[in-house]
Structure 1
Amino acid sequence: MNYSKDSIKQIVKDEKVEFLRLEFTDMLGETKNVELPVEEIDAVLNDEAMFDSSSISGFSEIQESDMYLVPDLDTFKVLPENVDEDCIARFICDIYTPDGNPFEGDPRYILKRAMKEAKDLGYTVNVGPEPEFFLFKLNEEGYPIRKMNDRAGYFDASPKDKGDKVRRDIARTLKNFGFEMEASHHEVAQGQHEINFRFDNMLTTADNIQTFKNVVKDIASNHEYHATFMPKPITKENGSGMHCHLSLFTKGDSAFYDQYSDDELSATMKHFMAGILHHANGIAAITNPNVNSYKRLVPGYEAPVSVAWSHSNRSCMIRVPMTRGKGTRFEVRNPDPTANPYLTLAVLIKAGLEGIRNELDAGEAETRNLYEVTDNSVPTLPTNLKEALKALRNDEVLMDALGDHTSKIYLEEKEQEWNTYSLQVSQWEIDHYMNK
C-alpha cells in the first residue's frame, strides 16, 4: 500500500498508537529495532531518528557510530494484538549516514543496488520463498528443549499434526500484515512445518521473510512452543530449507518463457540459471551461512547436493516446475531460513545477471538421481562453511554484489565462527574416540 506522511499520521491518531517500532536487519540477518513514543512521529517521518550502530553486526566502528533510520513508508503497519498487546506501529527502515547517503553495509541497500542493476538491463525479478521451521516444546522455565511438538509426517492431519492451530494463527496474523497466503502444511520431519505466501518483487519479499520469521516466533510462543529456523536441529531428520522461486520479467512479460523452444524455456532463463550454478559455491556462503547449514546439505534428506538443474529432480540445486507462461520460474533449493534474505537475493540476482551477460551454458537438465552418482561427473556444493567462505572470497562477482564493507566484515565474522566451531569437542567425538 502507498502511504503518505499525512495518511500515516491520521492512522496513528485513529488507532491510538502509543509506540513506533523502527525495524532494520543486521549483516547476519537478525531483525533489530528501536522503539520511540508516538510523540516522535514527526521526527520519524522527517528522517530524524538516529541510533548508535556501533554494536550492530556488520555496521560501523565506535568512532563512526551515528546512523539514521529512514522509514520506508510502504512498510507501515499497526501490529496485530496477538503479536503485541500494546498499540505499536511498525516501519521497516533503511540506514543512512549523517551525510545523507545510504549506508553501504545496510543489507536492504545492498539488495536495492542489485535490483537497480537488473532494472538497468530491463528486468524485474520476482521471488516466492518457502521457509520451513520446527516447533519444539518448552521446559518449566520457558526455555526450548529438544522435544518436538508432534510425531507427524508429510501432509499429516490432526490429531497427528499438533501444529495445525499454530499455523492457522500464523496465517491469520500474516494476512493482517497484508500477506497473500497460499498454503500451509506439516512437513516431512516430525515437528516440522511450512507456510507459503505469494511471490512479490525482491525487496518486498525480503521484508516479508523477516516479518514472517518474527511472526512465526511470536505466535509459537503464544502457544507455548519454540519455533526455530535452524537448518538441521535433529540428527537423521530432514532439515529446514528456504527454497526460492525466481522469475524474471521484461516489460510485463516473462523473460523465462519461450513457447517456441522444445521445453518452452527461454535462452535468457538458462543463462540466468547458469550464472547461479557457476557461482554456486560462493553463493552458498550467503544462502547457507552457518556451520549447521551444511549438515542439511547431505544426500538422502531431500536437500540438494549437486550443482545442476532439472525439470522435476529434487536432487539438483535448481528445479524447474512445470508451469509455463507468466508462471515460468525456477526454484533454487539450497538456501536455508537462517540466511539474510537481502544478501541472499542480492547474490542470486548478481550471479544470474552475470550469466545473461556472458551467455553462460547451464548444460542439459539432469534426469538421474544425483544422490546415487558417485563418479564425480557432477560438481557438488561445499561440504562445510570453510569451503564456502573460501569460494566466496575468490568470487569477484559476489564480492562486488556485497560491496567492500560487507564482504570484508562478513568473511571475518564467518571465518571466526568456523574457527570457534572447529575447536569444540562434540559428544560424537567423545563417544567414538575416548576408548580408542
Structure 2
Amino acid sequence: MKYSKQEVLQYVQEEDVKFIRLAFCNVFGKQKNISIMPDELPRAFSYGIAIDGSAIAGFGDEAESDLLLHPEPDTLMVLPWRPEHGRVVRMFCSISHPDGSPFVCDTRSLLKKAISDAESAGISFAFGPEMEFYLFQLDAEGQPTKTPYDNAGYMDIAPEDKCENVRREICLLLEQMGIYPESSHHEEGPGQNEIDFRYSDPLTAADNTLTFQAVVKTVAERNG
C-alpha cells in the first residue's frame, strides 16, 4: 500500500507505533538509519531530520556535516520482527542540504534521476532481482565462522538442505511486509541460498533489495 503523509501520521497514531526508522543507504550500499518518536514525524515531513554526513563513509568531510533526511511516505513498512505493542516502522529517505538542494551522494536521488533520464529518452526498465546469500555457523561465543551451515548442493532438499526453514522464515516475513518472493531454493555452494523476486520498477526493486538484506540478516541472527 502506498501511503500519503497524512495517512502515515494517522497510521502511526492508530497502530501504536512508537519508533519510526528513517533509513538511507551510503555509497557502498550499506543501509543506515536513525529512529525518531511519533511526535517528531510532522517535523520530519515538513523540514527533515538532521544527520552528520561527515560521519557516514563516502559522504565527505566536515563540509557535508549538515544534511537532512526526508522520509518518503509511500515507502512505509512495519518491521514485523519488532514488538506488536509499541510497533516499529521504517521509511526510506532522500537526502538534502539545509538549503533544500539535493545531496550529490544520495543514492536514492541518483536512481530517481537515472529513471527520469531514461523516461525522457523513451526507455523504461523492469528488474527481477535474484538474491543470493550464504549462511555460516557461529562459534561458542556467537561469533561468525567460515564453516557453512550445510553442505547441500543445487536445489537439494532436507535433510541435506538445512537452510530450508531459514528461507521459509525470510519469505514469510517479506510477505508480511508486502513483498512477494517468486521462488526460493538452495544454491550450488555449501550454505548458499537464492530467493528470487518478481519484476518491478527500478525504485521498488532497489527498496525491496535493501529490505531483503535486512530481513536475511535478522532471520539469520534469530536462528543462530
TM-score normalised to the size of structure 1? 0.50
1:48 deviates by: 2.4
1:59 deviates by: 1.2
State the alpha-carbon separation in 2 of the partners of residues 60 and 190 from structure 1.
39
| 1:79 corresponds to | 79
1:16 aligns with 2:7: no
State the alpha-carbon separation in 1 of the partners of residues 183 and 169 from structure 2.
13
Instruction: Give the fraction of aligned pairs with identical amino acids, expressed as a percent.
Output: 42
- Report SS of the residue matched to 1:124: coil
Conservation of the 8 A alpha-carbon contact between 1:47 and 1:71: no
1:161 aligns with 2:156: no
Letter of the 1:108 partner, please give it. Answer: R
| 1:41 corresponds to | 41
| 1:314 corresponds to | none
- Report SS of the residue matched to 1:125: coil
State the alpha-carbon separation in 2 of the partners of residues 47 and 77 from structure 1.
21
| 1:25 corresponds to | 25
State the alpha-carbon separation in 1 of the partners of residues 218 and 33 from structure 2.
15
Q: How does 1:276-425 map to 2 (within 5 A)?
A: none
Letter of the 2:171 partner, please give it. Answer: A
Higher RCO, 1 or 2 (CA under 8 Å, sep at least 6)?
2
State the alpha-carbon separation in 1 of the partners of residues 171 and 220 from structure 2.
12
1:96 deviates by: 0.7
1:101 deviates by: 1.4
State the alpha-carbon separation in 1 of the partners of residues 176 and 90 from structure 2.
13
- Report SS of the residue matched to 2:36: strand
TM-score normalised to the size of structure 2? 0.95
| 1:2 corresponds to | 2
Conservation of the 8 A alpha-carbon contact between 1:166 and 1:220: yes
1:217 deviates by: 0.5
State the alpha-carbon separation in 2 of the partners of residues 75 and 114 from structure 1.
19
1:68 deviates by: 0.7
1:75 deviates by: 0.6
State the alpha-carbon separation in 2 of the partners of residues 47 and 129 from structure 1.
34
- Report SS of the residue matched to 1:133: strand
| 1:342 corresponds to | none
Conservation of the 8 A alpha-carbon contact between 1:179 and 1:198: no
Letter of the 1:171 partner, please give it. Answer: C
Q: How does 1:128-147 map to 2 (within 5 A)?
A: 128-147=128-147
| 2:170 corresponds to | 170
| Count of aligned pairs between the two proteins | 222
1:23 deviates by: 0.3
1:88 deviates by: 0.8
State the alpha-carbon separation in 2 of the partners of residues 215 and 47 from structure 1.
30
- Report SS of the residue matched to 1:217: helix
Q: Which runs of 5+ in 2 are unaligned?
A: none
- Report SS of the residue matched to 2:98: coil
Per-residue deviation, residues 368-399 of structure 1 (Å, max 9, x unmatched): xxxxxxxxxxxxxxxxxxxxxxxxxxxxxxxx
| 2:115 corresponds to | 115
| 2:149 corresponds to | 149
1:10 deviates by: 1.5
State the alpha-carbon separation in 2 of the partners of residues 96 and 177 from structure 1.
28
1:69 aligns with 2:78: no
State the alpha-carbon separation in 1 of the partners of residues 165 and 125 from structure 2.
34
| 1:194 corresponds to | 194
Q: Which runs of 5+ in 1 are unaligned?
A: 225-436
Per-residue deviation, residues 205-262 of structure 1 (Å, max 9, x unmatched): 11111111111000011110xxxxxxxxxxxxxxxxxxxxxxxxxxxxxxxxxxxxxx
| 2:51 corresponds to | 51
Conservation of the 8 A alpha-carbon contact between 2:171 and 2:180: no
Aligned-pair RMSD on alpha carbons? 1.2
Higher radius of gyration, 1 or 2: 1
